[in-house]
Structures are given as structure tokens and as C-alpha cells.
Chain A
Amino acid sequence: KNEVEQSPQNLTAQEGEFITINCSYSVGISALHWLQQHPGGGIVSLFMLSSGKKKHGRLIATINIQEKHSSLHITASHPRDSAVYICAVGSQGGSEKLVFGKGTKLTVNP
């Protein structure tokens, strides 16, 4: 079993829809990261959080440490949000190296 599980693997939405991507992990973590990988391959860090909730524009990330679960929400989705969204966890007490989920491929149609 992968240490970081994401769902769904693929997601297709219509422009304007509310999107939720889920991430569950099985190890102790220092922080959880949400990353966005564009079709060209570049990776951008969206959020890094160790508790609670963070919001940036139309993006919201939440984490429940007790349940070892995080969600990434996109409000009023837009075709430019189409990308692969990757959940990654930083290991506790060590190198902060990231363990990655397999990603969720989001396609937002106009």
C-alpha cells in the first residue's frame, strides 16, 4: 500500500464546478504539500500545511491530523486549472524529503 493515497485518479469537470481532491497518508508527517504540475511538466507548490486550513484565491486546502487526511478544493473551476494535482508528505524528524501520491489529473472543460 502506498504511503500516500490520492483520489480520484482522474477528474473531469465543467467550468464553474466545485472540485475536491482527497489525500490520505499512513505515516507521521511534519507537513503536507499540495503541488500542481502543468502539462509542460513544471511543478508549483500550492500549499504547505501542518494543521487546519489555508486559502489562496480559489484554492482551499484542509488537513485533519488525527484522521491523516487532507483535501484540496477548487471553487469556480476554470479550464486553466487543468493540471495534475499532487499530494506529498514531508517525513517527520529528518530530511523533509517528500513522499508523493500518484497525482490526480484534473480536466476542466469550458
Chain B
Amino acid sequence: GAGVSQSPSNKVTEKGKDVELRCDPISGHTALYWYRQRLGQGLEFLIYFQGNSAPDKSGLPSDRFSAERTGESVSTLTIQRTQQEDSAVYLCASSYKLDSLYEQYFGPGTRLTVT
């Protein structure tokens, strides 16, 4: 079946502009995660959604970052007033519960470049 999809695949924006990144999870997956990977660095957690529960926003680096999720479907990550340090690959993952554990399926990512 279809995997996790993300759009756009690449985004170049000028410093100070707002950007919106989209994630379409696998149908039926209740949990959705956003991660960030800066060039040459490891993955960082940003935000987590699980059903109708309040999202875990503990990884968002500043108040310029926000995310929404509509029910158990699409999610958007918005970065306002982008800065050069926001340049990274933004990865989305979705998961379902298997034997009380959550296996995560990753999307291809959106490569964001802030000039």
C-alpha cells in the first residue's frame, strides 16, 4: 500500500518567509511524528500527535515552529520567519500499535533550504 508521503520534496525560501510542509501518513496510523535532520547531524524530535490527545510539542525549537493535524490524517508543519539555521531535512513518520509497541514508518522528507 501507499507509504508516508511528504510535500514538497524540496523547498528553497528566503530568510524571513514562512513555509508550510505537509505530511500524509499511512491510512489507519494513529500516531504521527515530525523530526528534523540538519546537515551532518542526527535526527531530532520535533512534535508528536496521537489521536485526539494533546500533541507533545516538547521538541519544537522555538515559537516560530508549529504543527497541526486534522484528525488522524494529514499534518502540516509551519515555520514562520525562517532563519538559515532552519535549513534541514524535515521528516515525518506515522505509526500504529503492534504488540504494545509503535513501529514508525518514515516519509521521504522535505529538504528545506533557507537562503
A45 in contact with B56 (CB, 8 Å): no
Chain A facing B: main interface SS = strand
- Is B101 interfacial (CB 8 A cutoff)? yes
- Is B50 interfacial (CB 8 A cutoff)? yes
Contacts of B28 in A (CB 8 A): none
B95 in contact with A96 (CB, 8 Å): yes
> Which of the 9-residue segments A36-44, A59-67, A70-78 touches chain B?
A36-44
B101 in contact with A50 (CB, 8 Å): yes
Contacts of B42 in A (CB 8 A): 86, 100-103
Q: Give Cα distance in the complex from A103 to B43, angstroms.
A: 9
Q: Give Cα distance in the complex from A20 to B31, angstroms.
A: 31
Task: Tell me how far the C-beta of A33 lies from the nearest C-beta in chain B, rounded to whole angstroms.
Answer: 7
Q: Give the size of the chain B interface in residues (CB under 8 angstroms).
A: 26
- Is A94 interfacial (CB 8 A cutoff)? yes
In the complex formed, the residue of B with least CB distance to A102 is B42
B-contacting residues, A54-110, CB 8 Å: 86, 88, 90, 94-103
- Is A48 interfacial (CB 8 A cutoff)? yes
A41 in contact with B56 (CB, 8 Å): no
A42 in contact with B108 (CB, 8 Å): yes
A-contacting residues, B83-115, CB 8 Å: 89, 91, 95, 98, 101-106, 108-109, 111
- Is A11 interfacial (CB 8 A cutoff)? no
On whether A98 and B105 interact (CB within 8 A), knowing A41-B89, A43-B91, the answer reads no
Task: Tell me how far the C-beta of B40 lies from the nearest C-beta in chain A, rounded to whole angstroms.
Answer: 10
Q: Give Cα distance in the complex from A108 to B41, angstroms.
A: 22
Contacts of A103 in B (CB 8 A): 42
On whether A45 and B101 interact (CB within 8 A), knowing A97-B48, A97-B56, A98-B33, the answer reads no
8 pairs, A vs B, C-beta closer than 8 Å: A30-B101, A31-B102, A33-B104, A41-B89, A41-B109, A90-B101, A96-B95, A96-B102
Q: Give A residues with C-beta under 8 Å from B.
A: 30-31, 33, 35, 41-45, 48, 50, 86, 88, 90, 94-103
Q: Give B residues with C-beta under 8 Å from A.
A: 31, 33, 35, 41-45, 48, 50, 56, 58-59, 89, 91, 95, 98, 101-106, 108-109, 111
